[in-house]
Chains A and B, each alone.
Chain A
Amino acid sequence: MRILIVEDEPDLLSSLAKALREEGYAVDTANDGEEGFYKAESWDYDAVVLDVMLPKLDGWGVLQKLRKVKKTPVLMLTARDASRDRVRGLDTGADDYVVKPFDLAELLARLRALIRRAAGQTRNLIEIGEVTIDTAARIVRRAGVPVTLTAREYTLLEFLAVHRRELVTRTALYEHLFDEDDSTLSNLLDVHVSNIRKKLGAELITTRRGHGYCIE
C-alpha cells in the first residue's frame, strides 16, 4: 500500500512517515500543496493524508483539483474541528477527517478502513481458502495457525488479497508497495512471491506470465 502525506510541519511529517513505513506502507511525502497535488496526480496512491493549512495551495484546493482527475481516498488532517469545516471537507470530496491533535493509532485505523472501503471490503478479515488475513492486526493464519511473514511479504499478500480476482500488474505492485525512495530491483518482487508461496501454499498466488499476479 502506498500512501502520500502532504504536511508542512517537518516534525509532524517525519514522525507520520516513520510510523506509516513501520506499518508496512510505502510512504511518499510532500511539503506544500502544489507538490502534494503534483504527486497525488501522477501516482495511484492507495490513500492521501492531506493537511488543510498548507503553503502555496491549501488542502481544500488540493482536494478540489484532485477530485477532478482521481478518486484516490483522501484523509484530511486539520487543526479546526468546527463542524462547518468538517462539512466542507466531506463535501469537497474528503473521505475521512482527523482533527489535530490525533492519536497515531486512530489515524492508522482510519487509514486502514479508508483503503479497505476503497477496495470494496467492509471487514478487516480476508479469507482465501484456508488462509485468513487480519488486516487490522496484520496477522496471517493458515488453517488457524499464525504464519510469520516479513513486512514486505505481508503488504504484497494484502495488496493482492484486497484486489482479489483482479490481475495485478508488476508495475502496479511496484507503484503501490514501494515508495519513491526505494531502489528495489524488479526481481525482488519474485523473491517475495516465492517466499509467500513457500509459507502459505503454492496455489495461493497464480502467475500470469508477462502480466502480473492474481489471487483467485
Chain B
Amino acid sequence: MIFLNSIRWRLQLWHGLLLVFVLAGFGFTAFQLQRSNQLRGIDQDLQHRIEVISRVMHRPGQGPGRSPPAGFGPVDGPPRDNFGPPRDRPGLEGSSPPRPVSPEERDRREDFLRGSPRFGEPPKARLPDPQSPDFAPALRDLPLTPQDLNLFDSSASNAFYYLAWTRDGRLLYHSESAPANLPPAPRGPGLSITRMRGTLREMLHYLPPGECILVGRDIGRELADTRRFAAVLLGAGGAVLAFGLAGGWWLATRAIRPIKDISATAAKISTGDLSQRIPPADTDNELGQLANVLNSAFARVEAAFAQQARFTSDAAHELRTPVSIMLTQTQASLTRERPAPEYRETVEACQRAAQRMRRLIESLLELARLDAAQEPIKLGRLDLAGTAADCVEQVRPLASERLITIETDLAATECSGDPERLAQVITNLLTNAIHYNKDRGEVRVSVQQQNGSVILTVTDTGQGISSEDLPHIFERFWRADKARSQANGRTGLGLAIAKSIADAHGGTIEVVSELGKGSTFTLRLPATRALSNQ
C-alpha cells in the first residue's frame, strides 16, 4: 500500500470517491424524478378512471332501487341497495344533462369498460353482449367530456382493467381484461390505496357507501423504460466517471510534475553540486515560490559551505608556511655536519615556526569554540573603561617603541560581558592600531555610554584601509596587504575573533577608515545593566 502515500494516488482516490458520490447522487435523483413523474402520470390516469367509474356507478337519477345492467357484473347479480347516489361527491350530483352520444363514442366507451383486449388472462366471468340494449346503459348516457372520452379510446387505455366490489366483498363488476387471480378487495382504512402488484399498478378506491373500485394497469413497459433509463444513467455515469478519473489523473500528473522536478533537482543538489539551482519556471505560482525558497536555502547552504571550505583551506594554507620553514630548515641543516651555531640557528627558526603554528592553532580553536558556542560567554558585570585602561597599559611598551602616543578618554560605564574576552578584543584593536600606524603617530581610545549602549572606539593615524578591503576586514584570514607578516605574530584571525566575541555579547563591531588618514574601530555593547538602573 506504499502507493497510498503518494500524493498523486491520494488525490486520485479522493477525486474518484468524490466523483462517484456526485454521480451517484445525481443519477439517483434523476432516476427518482423520472420514476415518480412516470408513476404520477399513471396514477393520475388511474384516478381519472376511478372518478369516471364511480360516476358511472352513482349516476344521478339512477336510484338505489334500480337494478344493475344485466350481465354487467357477477352472475348472481348485485345487491340493489348498494347503488345509492354518492353522498359526499357533490360534483357528481350536479352533472350536466345527458347529451346525444355518437356511435363512435359509444364504441370507445365500450372499449374502456372492457379494458385492453391485449391484456392478461381472460376473465372467468362472461361479459354481456355489447349489442344488448341492457349493456352499460349508464355509460351510454353518461355526460362525458371529450377528455373523459379519450380515456375510452382503446389505444389510450392499453392494458387497463377495473373491478368493483360490493361492500361485503362480492365482485360487482369487472372488465374483460381484469386478472382473475385478484384477491377480494381488502378493506382499507383510507379512501384510496395505490399499490404495486408485480408489474401491475393498481388503485383502490372506497366509495362512501362501501363499494370498492379497483383500477389497474400493467405498467411493465413503463417499468422496462425506467430500467432502460437507469441503465443509460448507469452507463453514462460510468463513462463520466472513467472520463473524470482519466482527467483527474492527467491533472494530478500535471500538478505533481513540477513538484517532482523540484524534488529531483533538489535531490541532485543536495547530493552533489551545490551551485545548481532549481529553474524557476513560473515564479508567480505556489511552486515557483517553493522553488525560490529552496533556491535561497541552497544559496545559503552553498555560501556556508564555501565559507567553511575557504576557512579550512585558509587554515591549511596558514599552517603550510611554518611547516615548510621547519622542513627546509631541518633538511638543509642535515645535509652535512655543521658547527654548533648553525644548528642553533636552525633550532631557533624551527621554534619560531612552531610558536607561529601554536598561535594559529589557538586562534582557530577559539574561533571554532565561538562558532559552536561551546563555551558560553561568562557574562559578568564589568566596567569597560577599566578593562580598556588595563589593555592600554599592556600595549604601551609596544607603542613607545615606535614613539606612538596613546590618548584615552574613558568614562565609567557598566555593561555585562566576559572581561577576558573583551580585553582580548580591545588588545587586538590596540595592537592593530599600533601596528598599522605611522611612527610618532597617535592612538585614541574612548569609552562612553550612549543610548543604552556602551561604546568603545579605537582611532589610529595610520595608513587606513582601502574601500575595497573595508568590507572584508572582519573575514577570517583576510589581510589588506595580502602578505603574511609573521614577524609580529599576526594570524589574520584577530579581527574575525573580535567580531565573533562582539556577536556573542550581542554587540557589534564596525570600522570607518580613510586611506592615508587612519581608521576608527567602534565596539558597541548593549548596556544591559546601566549605572542609572542600579
Could you list which residues of chain A lie within 8 angstroms of chain B, going by C-beta atoms?
8-12, 14-16, 18-19, 22, 32, 53-56, 58, 79-80, 82, 99-105, 107
Contact = CB atoms under 8 A, between A and B. Distances in A.
B378 interface: no
With a 10 A CB-CB cut-off, give which of B313, B325, B352 has the most chain A CB atoms: B325
With a 10 A CB-CB cut-off, give which of A16, A82, A105 has the most chain B CB atoms: A16
Contacts of B325: 9, 11-12, 15
A82 B309 CA distance: 12
B353 interface: yes
A12 B327 CA distance: 9
Contacts of A8: 483-485
Nearest to A10: B487
Contact of A55 (B313, B326, B336, B483): B483
Interface string B307-337: 0000001001110110111111101110110
Contact of A100 (B321, B352, B482): B321
B312 to A, nearest CB: 12
Contact of B328 (A19, A54, A79): A19
B332 A18 contact: yes
Closest 6 CB pairs of A and B: A55-B483, A101-B324, A19-B332, A104-B331, A79-B320, A100-B324
Given A11-B353, A19-B332, A100 B323 contact: yes
Contacts of B468: none
Given A79-B321, A100-B320, A15 B349 contact: yes
A188 to B, nearest CB: 24
A8 B320 CA distance: 14
B223 to A, nearest CB: 88
B484 A12 contact: no
A54 B324 contact: no
A53 B483 contact: yes
29 contacts: A8-B483, A9-B321, A9-B484, A9-B486, A11-B325, A11-B329, A12-B324, A15-B325, A15-B333, A15-B346, A15-B349, A19-B331, A22-B332, A22-B335, A54-B482, A54-B483, A55-B482, A58-B483, A79-B316, A79-B317, A80-B313, A101-B323, A101-B324, A101-B327, A102-B328, A103-B327, A104-B327, A104-B328, A104-B332
Contacts of A16: 328, 332
A143 B174 CA distance: 153
B481 interface: yes
A58 B486 CA distance: 16
Contacts of B318: 79
A209 B328 CA distance: 43
B168 to A, nearest CB: 118
Given A55-B483, A101-B327, 9 more contacts: A9-B484, A15-B333, A19-B332, A19-B335, A55-B485, A79-B321, A82-B313, A102-B324, A103-B327
B332 A11 contact: no
Given A15-B325, A79-B321, A100-B320, A105 B331 contact: yes
A194 to B, nearest CB: 28
Contacts of A82: 313
B317 A80 contact: yes
Contacts of A99: 320
B306 to A, nearest CB: 13
B382 to A, nearest CB: 39
A53 B328 contact: no
Contacts of A80: 313, 317
